[in-house]
């Protein structure tokens, strides 16, 4: 062993290498024997064992390049030795050091070897060596050119021909493994090709791979003497992974239905009670294929990733976000240990090939196995200790894969023959890997097929026995169970439009409807998921099961199904709200959020929420007291702390409640009590970072409860207020000590005894906002509201004095600091409270503090006008000061929060009449200018919010000016200067050129400001050109674009400008262009709502002079629009047809009020032409119009009668007026007269 380091430099080695490199093609019989001797020497066991000691990559690359220059002669012995030598080089050193050109040369040479093996007789050992060399180089060199793909996997490719012309499974398995490695594509390449709209694989390659792989999958299992079982399992696993890679990389070219039918039998491979030969009968039948779409309608996220993930909190009203699906590279790490068999369920047979009826649940304990009695648990532990140990081993193996996705699995020995034959892995692990790979391929097909077609796979996978739920209930491997649940999740995601068709009963008929089939399968799905919760022990599978239930609840319309399904779900899920694993608890709470958000609501849910109740403490049974505004003075720091400590209520008082004390107490729903327990008495054994997710989900449950079911729990508001107060205590002072929840146990970690100062506080204010939003809705109801105006006022006073007190004090302190900046330094020594507040205002805040302040400020956006005005002048002033502080803050998030609040309260009379209201309006307008003018870091969300706020504020400019004039403040110019108006128009015009959603608000802003202007404003040199640009922009927006909302708003804005009477319409140069554009829209535009608004704007001019020369042409437009309004092209517009006809009839009446005798003579021919068409439409309009809209009809009648009494009427004039009189004289109108 001392000479190992000198092997490379030994004369024999150097001579052999030099002699090998000196041999050139063609190979003659003379140098053939010499080449064989050299290769024998290089491939000897001694030399092969020392190849790993070679570190000269240049020499290795020369050896590899020279090896692939030798001719392909399968019948020659030197060729067999060349394949062996090449494989030794690549196996020992790998192919990562090779250049891309060298790798391509090696792959093409091996491809020629494989092609020749199908024509000439070739030694099987040499063929295996070539396949192993190819696998080594494909593993280290992904992402190939079309030439490589076609050479290996085209119609005449080397790998395809090897599979077609070789019946030996010892050749098929490594060949399929090479095909698996060939189809692996890195995520970067997939992303780039998707962006460019290109294809990764040539169509010929995809077609040939599908054909050969599906043929292998549909073949019956070989007998053991022909193919060892482990070798066959590895072959099938590779086939399934190849299919998965094709679906991910080439979704447009794969045959989805054929793939699913071929993969379905392998979902149950190796499960007891299911014969694979029987399941294969489904795969051999002819299938009608549905092409897989490009995935535009489908979420292209990775629903094929079956490894357990770190489950964290997600947004309630958003879909599940997952990583993009990427190709699978290896399957060697699917699991690291044996997968134990799950114990049977009490009362249910072991075999679930024919699922037991739903009545079988009657004899089953409703508690999951972990929550049953100790005696049962001890018995189970004593009888299955081996299984528990195996489960732990498997769990650790699964946990080790948490941070790695399916597509990056790799193993250093995955190309060894021992691994291909199964190695030391148990057959149970290999069979579980087959089932998992099959489910992975099926999930990829369903994911890529799109929402429109994925339910065509529902019957074979969910309704036929065995189904996916069979795999969930029977499979011993937790990874396979999770894979089955993932397929169900893919079905359920965005499936509400289809699942809403499900019905419980159907009428008499000769066939089963789709709705009844969906209803039956959904009932079975509820039953099986309940059984899965009862029997599951693996935390990752429990989490996946709960997420499946959550998706099921979100997408099913329970109002059409038989009652009892929700009761079953809640009965089983509520036990997991106290599970030992915090991540399971969090997902159980998340399921309850989905249940509370069910729409339309069902009576069963109300019974579930109120079935079990516990008494609330007497101290929290009545509304919390609020302090009179006169008693609110700024306290010293010591006094503030004492008051806060006095307001903290012990948690034991909340959770206590004996039967004798329950009398006279308010009853609390069990769900609210569970949420309160998780928030105020955290689990001492839980990891804080994970348990925070439980607290967040608890707050979300309470938010959903108060927002959707406030009438049911309005008596529990004091308890919810207490929870909000405790969770928001972290915002009281910067250096506040952790809040003690009066848990006296010294064994509990103190870090768990206070809420998280970040995200939990934010969600606490989200809960407060949901509560106040629900209260706002209840108070705005005309009748049957559970909250009175006085209660809403008291709740807001408590909010301002409690949870929002820190925000109000922060704004007030900032105002005092700004006012005292000009004072002398000697007077700057304030009390301790002012000192820390001054430092707080000067020191930059962290991101967490900013988020908390934004969450607090968002609560103010739930104010309504009535409640706001009832708070009193003092609180109104404090709110206005706070909003101004937010609007003028340097932090962009705080500015956005202030702008949002101001956009909501800007029209409140309490703000308009307050002395600080006009100044707040000016500051907010300037802030929105800055937000819309920022170029860097300005996202669409910010611009959308700012443009919406600017549109809202521009709509009340006239109100503020009128209030300003009646006050002693001065002239209007001090409120809105010419520079500010010009800036408003400039920003509004620029916003109209933004994206569609932002453009809509820009149109509103331009229309509001332009209609507000008077002749003096319009004549100002800086405003006059902007008025013309504004009108031109509105004309462009109403006549172009695909956003109908923008067009409607532009028509509405033009109508306000024409009808305001503030601008000299008769002399403006753009009047004709506006009227012509509105006339074209009214005449023949496809959208009826836009036509209605265009008609309203066109006829809104106040005098005949304002119509000018376009008056007669407008009559022609109206009658033509009235005629073609009945010719509906889009059936969706039929609901707006009657309103359009009524609006046109009303517009004709408006024009008639401005009619003159000269106009009547010019309209005689038009009226005679259309009177037969218009008469029934006018009669119908008179009957359908409400009394408040008949004013123009009465005015038109009066005008026509006045003209008929004129002297010396011409015949055309008399005919026109007579026709108009008949049109205006509807029966309904005469009856009213």
What are the two backbone dihedrals, phi and then psi, of residue 1155, each rounded to the nearest 5 degrees?
-70, 145
Residue 550 confidence (pLDDT)? 94
325: confidence class by pLDDT, cuts 50, 70, 90? low
**Coil, strand or helix: which one is 121?**
coil
CA distance 377 to 41: 66
Under the banding of pLDDT at 50, 70 and 90, the label for residue 1 is very low
Q: How far apart are CA 1095 and CA 1117, in angstroms?
A: 10
pTM tops 0.75: yes
Predicted local distance difference test score (pLDDT) of residue 308: 32
* For the chain, percent of residues with pLDDT exceeding 90: 35
Q: Are strands 667-669 and 613-615 parallel, antiparallel or unpaired?
A: antiparallel
* Separation of alpha carbons 272 and 277, rounded Å: 13
**Quick one: pLDDT at residue 739?**
34
**What does the angle CA 686 – CA 689 – CA 695 come to, to the nearest 5 degrees?**
75
End-to-end CA distance of the chain: 121
Q: What is the pLDDT of residue 380?
A: 38
Alpha-carbon distance 552 to 525, whole Å? 9
pLDDT above 50 for 193: yes
pLDDT digits (tens, 9 = 90+) for 1123-1178: 988 888 888 888 899 999 999 999 999 999 999 999 999 999 999 999 999 999 99
Instruction: Taking the CA atoms of 936, 940, 941 and 943 in sequence, report the sign of the dihedral they define.
Output: positive
Residue 421 to residue 436: CA distance in whole angstroms: 19
- Dihedral sign, CA of 403, 407, 411, 417? positive
Alpha-carbon distance of 158 to 163, in angstroms, equals 9
Whether 358 contacts 504, CB under 8 Å? no
Nearest to 748 by CA among 667, 804, 686: 686
What is the dihedral sign for C-alpha 1217, 1218, 1224, 1230? positive
Helix, strand or coil, per DSSP, at residue 574: helix
The closest of 90, 196, 83, 208 to 149, measured between CA atoms, is 208
Count Cα neighbours of 247 within 13 Å in the Cβ-side half-sphere.
35
Which of 337, 727, 231, 303 is closest to 488 using CA atoms?
Answer: 303
In angstroms, the CA 533 to CA 530 distance is: 5
Q: How far is CA 1230 from the centre of its chain?
A: 57
Which of residues 753 and 973 earns the better pLDDT score?
973
What single string gives the DSSP state of each residue in 579-643?
Answer: -SSHHHHHHHHHHHHHHHT-SS--HHHHHHHHHSEEEPPGGGSSPPP---GGG--PPPHHHHHHH
Backbone angles phi, psi at 174, to 5 degrees: -65, -30
Half-sphere exposure of 688 (CA within 13 A, CB side): 12
DSSP classification of residue 344? P
3-state secondary structure of 669: strand
Spatial contact of 507 and 371, defined as CB atoms under 8 Å apart: no
Cα–Cα distances (Å) from 17 to 20, 21, 402, 490, 507, in that order, read 5, 6, 47, 57, 85
Would you place residue 450 in the very low, low, confident or very high pLDDT band (cuts 50, 70, 90)?
confident
Rg of the chain over Cα atoms, rounded to whole angstroms, equals 39
CB 173 within 8 A of CB 420: yes
Instruction: Quote the pLDDT of residue 313.
Output: 37
**Using CA atoms, how far apart are residues 572 and 588, in angstroms rounded to an integer?**
10
Contact 656, 690 (CB under 8 A): no
Map residue 650 onto helix, strand or coil.
coil
Q: What is the pLDDT of residue 688?
A: 61
* Helix ranges restricted to H, 1044-1156: 1044-1059, 1071-1084, 1088-1098, 1104-1107, 1111-1124, 1137-1152
Look at 517 and 629; give whichever has higher pLDDT: 517
Q: How many CB atoms lie within 10 A of CB 124?
A: 12
- Contact criterion met (CB below 8 Å) for 415 and 219: no
- In 3D, which of 1067, 977, 988 has the Cα closest to residue 1020? 977
What is the per-residue burial (b if ≥16 Cβ within 10 Å, else e) of 402-437? eeebbbebeeeebbeeebbbbeebeebbbbbbbbbb
960 CB-contact burial (10 Å; exposed 0-12 / middle 13-18 / buried 19+)? buried
**Is it the case that residue 48 has pLDDT exceeding 60?**
no
Measured CA to CA, the distance from residue 441 to residue 246 in angstroms comes to 9
Nearest to 962 by CA among 980, 975, 944, 978: 975
Q: Which tens digits make up the pLDDT trace of 790-808? A: 999 999 999 999 999 989 9
pLDDT band per the 50, 70, 90 thresholds, residue 999: very high
Distances (CA, A) of 491 to 260, 451, 454, 863, 1114: 14, 9, 7, 41, 55
pLDDT tens digit string along 162-190?
Answer: 888 877 888 889 999 999 999 988 888 88
Residues 485-506 have a mean pLDDT of: 87
Strand partners, 615: 667
CA distance 116 to 779: 84
DSSP of 1171-1184: HHHHHHHHHHHHHH
pLDDT in tens, 310-319: 333 334 334 3
pLDDT one-digit tens code per residue, 859-912: 999 999 999 999 999 999 999 999 999 999 989 999 999 999 999 999 999 999
Q: What is the DSSP letter of 1134?
A: G
> What is the DSSP track for 1061-1088?
--S-TTT-TTHHHHHHHHHHHHHH-S-H
**Cβ atoms within 10 Å of 509's Cβ, excluding its own:** 8
* pLDDT above 60 for 940: yes
Instruction: Report CA 755 to chain centroid distance, whole Å.
Output: 28
Does 509 have pLDDT greater than 80?
A: no
With a cut of 80, say whether residue 29 has pLDDT above it: no
Q: With bands split at pLDDT 50, 70 and 90, how would you rate the model's confidence at 87?
A: confident
DSSP annotation of 50 reads T
Half-sphere exposure of 913 (CA within 13 A, CB side): 9
Task: Determine the Cα–Cα distance for residues 266 and 51; give it in Å rounded to an integer.
Answer: 42
For residue 742, is it left (φ>0), alpha (ψ between -120 and 50) or beta? left
What's the confidence (pLDDT) of residue 687?
59
Rounded distance between C-alpha atoms, residue 1162 and residue 1150, angstroms:
18
């Amino acid at each position: 062993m001392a000479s190992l380091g000198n092997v490379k430099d030994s004369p024999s080695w150097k001579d052999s290498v030099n002699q090998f490199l000196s041999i050139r093609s063609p190979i003659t019989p003379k140098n053939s024997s010499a080449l064989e001797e050299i290769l024998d020497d290089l491939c000897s066991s001694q030399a092969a064992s020392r190849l790993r000691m070679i570190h000269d990559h240049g020499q290795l690359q020369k050896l590899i390049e020279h090896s692939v220059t030798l001719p392909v002669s399968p019948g020659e012995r030197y060729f067999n030795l060349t394949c062996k030598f090449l494989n030794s080089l690549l196996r020992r050193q790998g192919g990562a050091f090779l250049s891309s050109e060298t790798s391509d040369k090696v792959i093409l040479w091996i491809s020629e070897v494989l092609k020749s093996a199908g024509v000439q007789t070739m030694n099987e050992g040499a063929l295996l060596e070539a396949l192993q060399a190819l696998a080594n180089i494909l593993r280290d060199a992904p992402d190939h050119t079309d030439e490589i793909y076609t050479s290996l996997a085209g119609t005449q490719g080397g790998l395809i021909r090897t599979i077609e012309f070789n019946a030996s499974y010892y050749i098929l398995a490594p060949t399929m493994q090479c095909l698996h490695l060939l189809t692996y594509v890195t995520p970067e390449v997939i992303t780039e090709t998707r962006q460019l709209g290109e294809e990764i694989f040539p169509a010929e390659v995809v077609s040939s791979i599908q054909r050969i792989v599906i043929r292998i999958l549909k073949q019956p299992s070989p007998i053991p003497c022909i193919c060892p079982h482990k070798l066959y399992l590895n072959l099938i696993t590779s086939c399934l992974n190849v299919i998965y890679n094709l679906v991910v990389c080439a979704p447009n070219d794969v045959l989805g239905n054929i793939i699913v039918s071929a993969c379905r039998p392998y979902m149950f491979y190796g499960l007891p009670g299911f014969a694979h030969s029987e399941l294969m009968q489904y795969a051999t039948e002819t299938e009608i294929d549905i092409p897989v779409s490009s995935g535009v309608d489908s979420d292209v996220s990775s629903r094929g990733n079956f490894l357990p993930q770190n489950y964290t909190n997600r947004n309630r009203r958003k879909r599940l976000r997952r990583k993009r699906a990427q190709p699978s590279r290896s399957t060697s790490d699917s699991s690291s240990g044996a997968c134990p068999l799950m114990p049977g369920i009490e009362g249910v047979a072991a075999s679930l090939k024919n699922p037991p009826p739903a009545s079988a649940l009657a004899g089953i304990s409703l508690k999951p196995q972990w929550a049953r009695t100790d005696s049962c648990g001890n018995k189970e532990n004593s009888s299955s200790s081996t299984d528990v140990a195996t489960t732990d081993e498997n769990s650790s193996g699964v946990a080790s894969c948490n941070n790695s996705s399916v597509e990056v699995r790799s193993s250093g020995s995955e190309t060894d023959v021992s691994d291909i034959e199964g190695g030391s892995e148990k057959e149970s692990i290999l069979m579980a890997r087959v089932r998992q790979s099959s489910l992975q391929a099926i999930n990829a097909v369903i994911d890529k097929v799109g929402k429109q077609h994925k339910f065509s796979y529902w019957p074979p996978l969910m309704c036929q026995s065995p189904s996916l739920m069979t795999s969930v209930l029977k499979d011993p491997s937790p990874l396979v169970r999770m894979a089955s649940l993932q397929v169900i999740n893919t079905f359920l995601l965005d499936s509400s439009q289809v699942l809403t068709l499900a019905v419980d009963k159907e009428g008499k008929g000769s066939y089963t409807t789709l709705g009844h089939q969906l209803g039956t399968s959904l009932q079975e799905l509820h039953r099986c998921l309940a059984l899965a919760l009862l029997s599951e022990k693996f935390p990752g599978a429990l989490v996946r099961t709960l997420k499946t239930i959550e998706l099921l609840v979100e997408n099913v319309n329970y109002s059409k199904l038989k009652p009892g399904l929700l009761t079953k779900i809640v009965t089983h899920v509520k036990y997991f709200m106290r599970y030992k694993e915090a991540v399971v608890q969090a997902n159980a709470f998340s399921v309850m959020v989905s249940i509370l958000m069910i729409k339309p609501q069902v009576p069963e849910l109300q019974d579930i929420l109120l079935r079990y109740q516990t008494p609330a403490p007497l101290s929290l049974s009545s509304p919390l007291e609020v302090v009179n505004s006169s008693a609110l003075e700024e306290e010293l720091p010591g006094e503030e702390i004492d008051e806060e400590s006095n307001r903290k209520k012990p948690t034991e008082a909340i959770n206590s409640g004996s039967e004798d004390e329950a009398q006279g107490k308010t009853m609390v729903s069990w769900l609210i009590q569970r949420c309160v327990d998780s928030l105020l008495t955290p689990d001492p054994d839980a990891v804080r970072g994970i348990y925070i997710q439980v607290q967040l989900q608890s707050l979300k449950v309470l938010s959903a409860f108060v927002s959707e079911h406030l009438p049911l729990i309005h008596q529990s508001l004091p308890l919810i207020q207490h929870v909000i107060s405790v969770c928001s205590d972290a915002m009281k002072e910067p250096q506040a000590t952790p809040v003690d929840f009066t848990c006296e146990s010294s064994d509990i970690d103190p870090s768990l005894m206070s809420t998280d100062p970040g995200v939990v506080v934010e969600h606490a204010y989200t809960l407060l906002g949901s509560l106040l939003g629900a209260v706002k809705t209840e108070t705005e109801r005309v009748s049957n509201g559970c909250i009175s105006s006085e209660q809403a006022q008291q709740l807001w006073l408590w909010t301002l004095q409690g949870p929002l007190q820190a925000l109000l004090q922060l704004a007030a302190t900032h105002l005092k600091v700004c006012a005292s900046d000009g004072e002398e330094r000697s007077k700057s020594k304030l009390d301790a409270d002012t000192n820390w507040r001054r430092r707080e205002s000067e020191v930059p805040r962290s991101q967490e503090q900013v988020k908390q302040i934004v969450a607090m400020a968002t609560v103010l956006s739930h104010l309504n006008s009535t409640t706001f005005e009832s708070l009193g002048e003092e609180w109104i002033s404090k709110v206005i000061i706070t909003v101004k502080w937010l609007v003028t803050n340097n932090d962009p998030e705080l500015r956005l929060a202030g702008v949002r609040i101001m956009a909501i309260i800007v029209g409140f009379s309490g703000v308009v009449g307050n002395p600080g209201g006009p100044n707040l309006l000016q500051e907010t307008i300037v802030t929105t200018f800055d937000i819309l003018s920022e170029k860097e870091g300005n996202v669409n969300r910010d611009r959308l919010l700012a443009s919406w706020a600017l549109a809202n504020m521009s709509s009340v400019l006239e109100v503020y000016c009128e209030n300003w004039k009646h006050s002693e403040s001065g002239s209007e110019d001090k409120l809105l200067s010419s520079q500010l108006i010009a800036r408003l128009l400039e920003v509004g015009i620029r916003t109209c050129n933004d994206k569609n959603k932002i453009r809509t608000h820009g149109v509103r802003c331009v229309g509001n400001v332009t209609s507000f202007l008077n002749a003096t404003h319009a004549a100002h040199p800086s405003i006059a050109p902007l008025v013309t640009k504004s009108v031109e922009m509105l004309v462009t927006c109403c006549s172009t674009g695909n956003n109908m909302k923008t067009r409607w708003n532009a028509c509405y804005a033009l109508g306000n400008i024409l009808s305001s009477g503030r601008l000299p319409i008769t002399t403006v140069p753009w009047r004709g262009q506006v009227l012509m554009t509105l006339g074209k829209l009214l005449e023949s535009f496809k959208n009826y709502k836009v036509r209605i608004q265009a008609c309203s704007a066109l006829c809104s001019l106040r005098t005949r002079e304002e119509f000018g020369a376009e008056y007669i042409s407008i009559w022609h437009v109206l009658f033509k629009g009235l005629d073609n309004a009945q010719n509906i092209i889009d059936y969706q517009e039929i609901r707006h047809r009657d309103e359009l006809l009524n609006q046109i009839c009303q517009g004709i009446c408006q024009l008639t009020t401005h009619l003159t005798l000269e106009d009547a003579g010019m309209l005689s021919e038009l009226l005679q032409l259309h009177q037969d068409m218009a008469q029934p439409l006018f009669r119908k309009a008179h009957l359908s119009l409400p009394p408040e809209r008949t004013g123009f009809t009465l005015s038109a009648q009066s005008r026509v009668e006045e003209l008929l009494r004129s002297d010396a009427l011409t015949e055309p004039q008399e005919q026109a007026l007579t026709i108009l009189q008949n049109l205006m004289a509807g029966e309904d109108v005469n009856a009213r007269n």
